[in-house]
Amino acid sequence: MKLNNLQRVFLGFYICLVIFWAVLFFFGIREGFYNYLYSFLFGLIPLIGGIISMINSRVWGGLNSSMGKSIFFIGLGVFCWGIGELIWSYYNFVVGVPAPYPSLADVGFAPSIFFYGLGAFYLSRATGAKFGLRTTYAKVFVVLALVSIIIFSYYILVIVARGGVLLSSTESGIKVILDIAYPLGDLLSLLLAVVISGLSFRYIGGMYRFDIYAILLGLAVMFIADSVFSYTTTVGTYYNANFGDLLLTTGTFLLTFGCIGFYKSRDEYLSQ
């Protein structure tokens, strides 16, 4: 596995964040400046990585190719997520609101899921998933994967996260909608990730296979992370830099890490 210089920088920053999170966790620090600082810092990964990815998508054909579209839209998705986290930090540091949800931060968070989900769709086209659908085995796999994930998602999102109650009179309508929309959007991306990995496994090869795997794993982690966020904000146990935030850090890192793996075109790498 060959990492480019940008990936090494982002990986090093991610490791520092994990250590930072571990210190907060083991010392039982659940509120205050350092918790807010953690939230701000991990939002820099998708914010900066998203910009780099969108710019670099041009060397892969930009919006004129499936891979270019995949890199651009996943980059746009994580960038939007970074903007949302930046607004979240504004509420933390300036307004003094520890958990601004729902808030203007959702203007960044909400569209991010759509964009990196769209990127996952184009990734499926770029990695040959459509060819895998030609076999009976692949069609059975897709059906079983869809059913299994939907059942699992209902259990996590409704039974666990909301105590079996989809609508609660004690919550605002916007919060209920967002609690469902975030994990549901991630669910659709996760379904794409499962289908892509299952159908195009033999087509994914060469120097970029680990970058593609990172993106697919990132989609799965984001689904779990948003489900945890929905659960903790519903039961009132959320705090900045909790375990859910560590999952969000990991999910956005994996998506960003995978995208910046395509920092140069294939021809540029081969010419080195």
- Residue 231: band (very low, low, confident or very high) from pLDDT cuts 50, 70, 90: confident
**Alpha-helix runs per DSSP H in 91-128:** 106-126
Question: At which residue do the structure tokens 């990695």 appear?
Answer: 127
Pick 37 or 101 by higher pLDDT.
Answer: 37
Q: Is residue 52 part of a domain?
A: yes
pTM: 0.84
**Taking a C-beta distance cutoff of 8 angstroms, is the pair 2, 8 a contact?**
no
pLDDT at 253 exceeding the cut of 80: yes
Condensed to tens digits (0 to 9), the pLDDT of residues 126-143 reads: 766 554 455 565 566 667
Q: Is residue 272 part of a domain?
A: no
Q: Is residue 253 part of a domain?
A: yes
Distances (CA, A) of 72 to 116, 156, 186, 213, 228: 9, 31, 18, 17, 28
Which DSSP state fits 2? Answer: -
- The whole-angstrom separation of Cα 272 and Cα 267 is 9
Tokens standing for residue 201 = 């496994």
Burial of 141 (0-12, 13-18, 19+ CB in 10 A): middle
Q: Is residue 269 part of a domain?
A: no
Q: Is residue 239 part of a domain?
A: yes
State residue 94's pLDDT score: 95
pLDDT at 270 exceeding the cut of 50: no
Instruction: Indicate the SS3 state at residue 204.
Output: coil
| Amino acid (one-letter) located at 233 | T
Condensed to tens digits (0 to 9), the pLDDT of residues 180-192 reads: 677 667 677 767 6
Instruction: Indicate the SS3 state at residue 3.
Output: coil
Following CA atoms 11, 117, 229, 46 in sequence, which dihedral angle do they give, to the nearest 10 degrees?
30
pLDDT at 112 exceeding the cut of 50: yes
What is the DSSP secondary-structure string of 40-85? HHHTHHHHHHHHHHHHHGGGGTGGGSHHHHHHHHHHHHHHHHHHHH
pLDDT above 90 coverage of the chain, percent: 42
As for how many domains the chain has, the answer is: 1
pLDDT at 54 exceeding the cut of 90: yes
Instruction: Indicate the SS3 state at residue 36.
Output: helix
Indicate which CATH number applies to the domain containing 123: 1.20.1070
10: domain range?
5-264
State residue 216's pLDDT score: 84
Question: At which residue do the structure tokens 């689904």 appear?
Answer: 223
Backbone φ/ψ region at 29: left (φ over 0), alpha (ψ -120 to 50), beta = beta
Q: Is residue 198 part of a domain?
A: yes
> Once rounded to an integer, what is the mean pLDDT over residues 264-272?
49
Q: Is residue 224 part of a domain?
A: yes
Q: Is residue 74 part of a domain?
A: yes
